[in-house]
Amino acid sequence: MMNQLITLFVAIPLFAFFTTLFWKNKHENAISGIVQITKSIYLILAVGYSILWIISGAPEIHVNLVTIYESQDFIFAIHFYYDRTTAVFSLLGAVSFFLVTTFSRYYMHRDEGYKRFFNTILFFAFGYNLIIFSGNFETLFLGWEFIGLSSFLLIAFYRNRYLPVKNAFKVLSNYRLSDVALMLMMWMMHHLTHKNIDFTELSQLKIIVTQQKQETMAIFIVIMILISAMIKSAQIPFTSWLPRAMEGPTTSSAIFYGSLSVHIGTFLLLRTYSFWEDMLWFKSVVVVIGLVSAIVSTHISRVQPTVKTQIAYSSAAQIGIIFVEIALGFHFLALLHIAGNAFLRTYQLLVSPSVLNYLIHNQYFHYHPTPIKKLNKLKATLFVLGIKEWGLDHFFYMYLYTPFKWIGKQFDWLKKTKTIATILIIGTGSLIYFLANNQIKSFDGALSISMLTIALSLVLFSFSYRGSALKAWGALVVSHIFILAGISNNEKEIKSIEVILYISGILISFILGYLTLYRVKKIDKDISLNQYHGYVYEEKNTAFLFLLSSIGMIGFPLTGAFIGADVFFTYIRTNQPLLIILLSTYLIFMEFASIRIFIRIFLGPHKKLSHAVAFRSS
């Protein structure tokens, strides 16, 4: 019975999400009623299941729900797992979801995005449960992707404003780095074990590493785990995205960046601890990162002028301490700390509007200026560093974002239609040849590198291009052809079903995206990427369809391209570092370029003066 009940944790929010889609925004009672029923069932189920689990002796529960794809070397299965860590995160999620949705029912009353808000919250609950109940990395990665998308949608909730949209893209950029790090970890794990493993097998994997003397592969795996956890839990140097994520409604900030989403990095460390518990050097690195994050974040939070920023950095500081507790093996303490920090930040965020209202009134009637004190150079320097958040945003913009933008602009000659058509013919011809030829030649490594380099060049061009969105969109689909050609050339034999899954998902996404962009172009013949257009005002359904096509183009778990991309990763061998670097960079900027087109055309302040336009500054 417990094996059957565990699937309800994922099924209930997913069913409620689809149910709320059939109601209009004005039907607040119907939408809130569905959410009320969902949160009540979810809370009762979480509490009841944990009690039943304790009565049964707290066993480890495994459920293989369904196998989505299976080949000789690769299995993609949805596998659920329940233990003490899952129990704590499940109860934490159920209580937080109950509190925040109850508060939001009144807080979001008569908001034009009432329905959209609860749709996204339910979608987030589905992704969150996929992560905490995951029994293998494939299931965890599915939830990881769903949480990333729902975060982007809620940060950009006020989509007619400049800053929420800009910061949503900034947060998504950090999340994409985390996604790719997790994919690289799964890629190396697959080559280490030659199969898809469950979390319970991680402790046995240490023996394999020792026997086969694969310490280098193990080091790569734990570093990718750490990078994923650091980004998701906003640890130094990735801390600055957390306050930017507070641009969404206060209630979504509470459930995402106060309680649940921001602690997913600690969940990943807890879940993989059995693999790296004997690596003293790695535990030392985690401790150092946690301590530095705690100290720096505490310093920044004390000088910030806004409530949300103070709470964000305070939460990051506590999570840094939690990192230390996990590394030292104090897992029960870490779980208590996670729950305490989550509930405290949720409470602080939910009451912050009332507190601010009180403080403003109090300051108006009882204002007493603070005496000016002279600061020495050290204190003044630290104060300015804290105000500027240690320049973390500037660092990433100058040394990560800007260089790739500059590289993309060097391919501006690709904007000519004839050039794109010629490259398309070359890519298609190469793909057909490589698929027909099953024998790997001695020069195939160089050819694969060339194919992936061309694909990356096309994506960087699309990422930096400021002209027609249709040309940028076309460059993305052509790049996929070169990716497929490069992978096909690198592998002796690729199953036709894998190629069909990948191509079908990409083509469907491309055609849908092209039709939606063409529809928008007919409105005023301007779909350049040089400014925000804000067409979501006039074309809500079109914007939704293009969002689906954008995430489908990047291999989101929506079409068969998701399975194809995962399988193709395994076709790159561990002795091909340049290929894996090219593919990883491609995947990062493919999402940047695709979502950028969506943002520039459909979000942001509307360019027509007949619509209300928000101020650029907050």
* SS3 assignment for 250-281: HHHHHHHHHHCHHHHHHHHHHHCHHHHCCCHH
State mean pLDDT over 311-340.
94
Task: State both tokens at 337.
Answer: 């700390």
Picking from 48-52, 149-153, 278-282, 412-416, which range would have the lowest pLDDT averaged per residue?
412-416
Contact indicator for 504, 476 with CB cutoff of 8 Å: no
> Among 216-230, 353-367, 415-429, which stretch is predicted with the lowest mean pLDDT?
353-367
Residue 3 is predicted with a pLDDT of 78
The pLDDT of residue 443 is 44
The SS3 assignment for 188 reads: helix
Mean pLDDT of the chain: 87
- Structure confidence at residue 610 (pLDDT): 67
- Residues 591/172, Cβ–Cβ less than 8 Å: yes
Residue 46 has pLDDT above 70, yes or no: yes
Condensed to tens digits (0 to 9), the pLDDT of residues 269-306 reads 999 998 998 899 999 999 999 999 999 999 999 988 88
Tokens of 494: 């690729």
Encode pLDDT of 371-415 as tens digits: 777 778 888 888 888 888 888 888 888 888 888 888 988 888 888
Residue 197 has pLDDT above 90, yes or no: no
Q: Give mean pLDDT, residues 343-367.
A: 80
Tokens 């790049």 correspond to: 479
Domain boundaries of the chain, sorted by first residue: 2-362, 392-602
- Asked whether the bond before 243 is cis by omega within 30 degrees of 0, the reply is no
Q: Is the pLDDT of residue 213 over 50?
A: yes
The pLDDT score that the predictor gives to residue 551 is 92
Residue 514 contacts residue 469 (beta carbons within 8 Å): no
pLDDT above 60: residue 189: yes
Q: Name the least confident of 191-200, 326-335, 527-536.
A: 191-200
Q: pLDDT value at position 93?
A: 92
The phi, psi pair for 532, rounded to 5°, reads: -85, 135
Q: Report the percentage of the chain scoring pLDDT > 70.
A: 97
The helix/strand/coil state of 463 is helix
CB of 485 closer than 8 Å to CB of 434: yes
Residue 15: the pLDDT is 93
Q: According to the model, what pLDDT value does residue 441 have? A: 46
- Which of these ranges, 88-102, 253-267, 430-444, has the smallest mean pLDDT? 430-444
Confidence grade of residue 41 (pLDDT, cut at 50, 70, 90) = very high
Q: Is the pLDDT of residue 612 over 90?
A: no
In the chain, helix, strand, coil percent, each to 5? Answer: 75, 5, 20
**Helix (H/G/I), strand (E/B), else coil: 64:** strand
pLDDT at 616 over 70: no
Q: Evaluate if residue 617 carries a pLDDT over 60.
A: no
Percentage of the chain modeled with pLDDT above 90: 43
Rg over alpha carbons for the chain, rounded to the nearest Å, is 25
Asked if pLDDT for residue 358 goes beyond 90, the answer is no
Dihedral angle computed from the Cα positions of residues 206, 215, 286 and 329, in that order, rounded to the nearest 10 degrees: 20
Residue 487 has pLDDT above 90, yes or no: no
pLDDT band at 228 (very low <50, low <70, confident <90, very high): very high
Sign of CA dihedral 21, 25, 30, 31: positive
Mean pLDDT over 162-183 rounds to: 91
The pLDDT of residue 75 is above 90: no
User: pTM for this structure?
Assistant: 0.92
Q: Which has the higher per-residue pLDDT, 368 or 531?
A: 531
Q: pLDDT tens-digit profile of 175-187?
A: 999 999 999 999 9
Residue 442's pLDDT band (cuts 50, 70, 90): very low
Lowest-pLDDT range, 85-89, 358-362, 575-579?
358-362
